[in-house]
Structure 1
Amino acid sequence: MKNIKPIQIVFIGALTQVVLLLILLFLYRNFVDFIPLLNILIIASLSGAFSFGISFFLLKKFIQERLDLIFRIIDHGVNVNIDQPKIEMKNDVIGAAANASVDWASARKIEIAKLKEQAAFRREFLGNLAHELKTPVFSIQGYILTLLEGGLEDEKVNRKFLERAAFSAERMTDILEDLDQIMKLEVNKVDIKKEAFDIVSLTKDIIISFEEKCQEDGVEVKLAEKYEPIYVNADKAKIAQVFTNLIANSINYAGENGKTIIRFYSINQTLMTEVSDNGIGIEEKNIPRLFERFYRVEQSRNRNEGGSGLGLAICKHIIESHNETIAVKSKLGVGSTFTFSLKKSSKHN
């Protein structure tokens, strides 16, 4: 019965009626009154045909109404209209409806799973945003209350506390500016102005800008070797931001005798850039989420200083807006290597 078609059901019913009617007519002929054989066959055939027609019409109407209801439910749950099939009793229309229902249920299950995942991500994002803003806000609030309660009159206290409040306010500003930038990157509202520039020269300039911080933290940042000029076709300011974020990230998580090494190597017309460090490293379970907004591994949440928590997410969006890729390899206690690609310019050595 699994693969039987509706028209076969109707035909079997009609044939059964013909057989039963033939039996009854032969019994009537033998025991009650004589009926010619031809008349028996005509009566049985007409009865079977009539039964077939009535059953066919009613069953088709019954199935059509049920299928219309099923497909209206399916159509209501999707963005595109599903063509409601015309009933062909020769085909397995019930099986087709069952398959469509299973497909629809599977699609809804996937959609619900995605919605739950997005809802969980939104909750986590809001929690992380609140965590990032809470510290500077509470610091500013504490400094201001101290000043209002008498610290303002003490020259040794008021300037120091005002400077600390200004630092906290600046950190909040950085977080909000980075958040605004990443939102624009996500909706493609930031124009990428590509130009040919020497990425080696740009990298040297950024390394120089970190000299003071490297001396304070006892960290070394350098190129792996002496490179000739290498020209790429990209947005120079945005790529400078990628380098700045990656180098700052490596310095923040540097261990003792921290080193950050930058390498370049070519694959056909693509330039691969590596920013490697020998810092604290990242557990493998945290790597897939490393480029999420505000996502930080447990040990980094407790650090005393750091950026907005959006640096790596911004790097990812900038590189992807160039239609390129960025990836990370890391081992806990050994270090991390961030690698991104850029298209080389026709003007290159």
Structure 2
Amino acid sequence: MKLRELVFINAFVVAISLAFINYYFQRDWYYFVLAFGVALVICYAVFYYLIERYVYSKIKLIYKLIHNLKLGKDLKDALGEYVSNDPINDVEQEVTEWARDKKIEIEALKNQEQFRREFLANISHEFKTPLFAIQGYIEALQEDAMDDQDLARSFLHKASRNIDRLTLLVKDLDVISKLESGEAPINFEKFEITHLIRDVIEQMEHKAKSHKIDLIFKDKYDSSFWVNADRDKICQVLVNLIDNGIKYGTENGFVAIKIFELHDQILLEVTDNGLGIEEKHLPRLFERFFRTEQSRSRQIGGSGLGLAIVKHILEAHQQTITVRSTEGVGTTFAFTLEKVMPNIITV
């Protein structure tokens, strides 16, 4: 409702009330109409001045502040312009939208705070475990074990493995930090994805055999599939996903890589027939250090950052990764890459 309409309604109500009071004493319709007309004019003028001067102007100021500050303007800009002819309704809308936005921001901050607490607890656990192990082995060597050369070598070997775990953790944290800050640029190039997959399989073959896992990449993918991406980073994506399938696979199981050609993308799937993941854990699977209780109970190695790195790399390529899994059946990770023709050179 606009200012004039609001003032008129209030003036009309007061004027008709005064006119009826006058009629009650005068008992004359002429004085009723006269009193109504005079009261309506006077009340309209007085109400308009009072509301405009002391109420409406304040509402307009509040509206200007809310509207312009929402647009990111500073205080001088917010006070220096006016963009609405009906600020009362607009203030209601702006305040409603503002309250809704703030509620969303508060929920996001609460989630971020919860994530921060979990992240600190997880990183503390990941560092503390190998550090305490190293400390224990060194103390044992300092006390008695030096006399037993075999035991000393065993302790040194275990300490070395924990140092390797710490090194991997620091390296992966550094990778994620650089990906988030943009310090690790994506160097796009055109390359044949099937050649890269075969190179990665050859690189992972020994580890797969030690876990009694078969790596499957069928001969039907001998045809060329060209993509535009950062070859080294996509190599890391494949290594992390295959390594994940090996670690959580079952004995005499498999990890299979499949390729599907879409309209303007290449879809890659990495599938295992391992433990599988409970549905409730799937939304958090790409969080840093997130591990299911099942994975913790097996004392599986790694930094806990592999899938988080995968997600960051593919997001930097403006591509997506999804996961589907059935507990006790297996897990499939699927991601896309930009498809290019062999005769088109991209920069």
Asked whether 1:311 is paired with 2:306, we answer yes
- Deviations 1:235-273 (CA, angstroms, capped at 9, x unpaired): 111111111101100000011321011111211232111
Instruction: Report the equivalent of 1:146.
Output: 140
Asked whether 1:99 is paired with 2:93, we answer yes
* Secondary structure of 1:210 counterpart: helix
Instruction: Report the equivalent of 1:344.
Output: 339
Query: Kindly tell me: are residues 78 and 136 of structure 1, through their superposed partners in 2, closer, same or farther at Cα, counting changes over 3 Å?
Result: farther
Instruction: Report the equivalent of 1:267.
Output: 262
1:190 to 169, 181, 184: 184
Separation in 1 of the partners of 2:42 and 2:11? Answer: 11
TM-score, structure 1 as length reference? 0.85
Query: Kindly tell me: are residues 301 and 75 of structure 1, through their superposed partners in 2, closer, same or farther at Cα, counting changes over 3 Å?
Result: farther
Q: What one-letter code is carried by the residue in structure 1 that aligns with 2:282?
A: I
Asked whether 1:231 is paired with 2:223, we answer no
Query: Kindly tell me: are residues 282 and 87 of structure 1, through their superposed partners in 2, closer, same or farther at Cα, counting changes over 3 Å?
Result: closer
Separation in 2 of the partners of 1:341 and 1:188? Answer: 21
Query: Kindly tell me: are residues 5 and 51 of structure 1, through their superposed partners in 2, closer, same or farther at Cα, counting changes over 3 Å?
Result: closer
Query: Kindly tell me: are residues 21 and 60 of structure 1, through their superposed partners in 2, closer, same or farther at Cα, counting changes over 3 Å?
Result: farther
Q: What one-letter code is carried by the residue in structure 2 that aligns with 1:121?
A: F
Asked whether 1:203 is paired with 2:203, we answer no
Instruction: Report the equivalent of 1:242.
Output: 237
Asked whether 1:26 is paired with 2:26, we answer yes
Deviates more, 1:57-66 or 1:124-133: 57-66
Instruction: Report the equivalent of 1:49.
Output: 41
Instruction: Report the equivalent of 1:331.
Output: 326
Separation in 2 of the partners of 1:87 and 1:304? Answer: 63
Instruction: Report the equivalent of 1:281.
Output: 276
Q: What one-letter code is carried by the residue in structure 2 that aligns with 1:177?
A: K
Separation in 2 of the partners of 1:64 and 1:87? Answer: 12
Shift of 1:312: 0.9
Query: Kindly tell me: are residues 176 and 43 of structure 1, through their superposed partners in 2, closer, same or farther at Cα, counting changes over 3 Å?
Result: same
Q: What one-letter code is carried by the residue in structure 1 that aligns with 2:6?
A: P
Shift of 1:234: 1.4
Instruction: Report the equivalent of 2:208.
Output: 214
Deviates more, 1:183-192 or 1:63-72: 63-72
Unaligned runs of 5+ in 1: 31-36
- Deviations 1:107-138 (CA, angstroms, capped at 9, x unpaired): 21111111111111111111121122121111
Query: Kindly tell me: are residues 336 and 86 of structure 1, through their superposed partners in 2, closer, same or farther at Cα, counting changes over 3 Å?
Result: closer
- Specify which structure has the higher proportion of helix: 2
Query: Kindly tell me: are residues 183 and 234 of structure 1, through their superposed partners in 2, closer, same or farther at Cα, counting changes over 3 Å?
Result: same
Asked whether 1:257 is paired with 2:252, we answer yes
Query: Kindly tell me: are residues 323 and 94 of structure 1, through their superposed partners in 2, closer, same or farther at Cα, counting changes over 3 Å?
Result: closer
* Secondary structure of 2:219 counterpart: coil
Shift of 1:5: 4.5
Asked whether 1:176 is paired with 2:132, we answer no
Please identify the structure whose Cα radius of gyration is greater: 1
Asked whether 1:11 is paired with 2:3, we answer no
* Secondary structure of 1:214 counterpart: helix
Separation in 1 of the partners of 2:159 and 2:7? Answer: 83
Query: Kindly tell me: are residues 14 and 52 of structure 1, through their superposed partners in 2, closer, same or farther at Cα, counting changes over 3 Å?
Result: farther
Deviates more, 1:296-305 or 1:75-84: 75-84
Contact preservation (8 Å) 2:186, 2:316:
yes
The residue correspondences of 1:155-166 to structure 2 (distance < 5 A) are: 155-166=149-160
* Secondary structure of 1:178 counterpart: helix
Shift of 1:68: 5.7
- Deviations 1:170-228 (CA, angstroms, capped at 9, x unpaired): 11111111111112212322111122222212211211222222222111112033422
Instruction: Report the equivalent of 1:67.
Output: 59
Separation in 2 of the partners of 1:226 and 1:107? Answer: 52
The number of residue pairs the alignment matches comes to 336
Shift of 1:278: 0.5
Separation in 1 of the partners of 2:148 and 2:57? Answer: 86
Separation in 1 of the partners of 2:63 and 2:142? Answer: 69
Shift of 1:280: 0.6
* Secondary structure of 2:200 counterpart: helix
Q: What one-letter code is carried by the residue in structure 1 that aligns with 2:12?
A: I
Separation in 2 of the partners of 1:239 and 1:181? Answer: 14
Query: Kindly tell me: are residues 217 and 19 of structure 1, through their superposed partners in 2, closer, same or farther at Cα, counting changes over 3 Å?
Result: same
TM-score, structure 2 as length reference? 0.85
Shift of 1:50: 2.4
Contact preservation (8 Å) 1:14, 1:49:
no
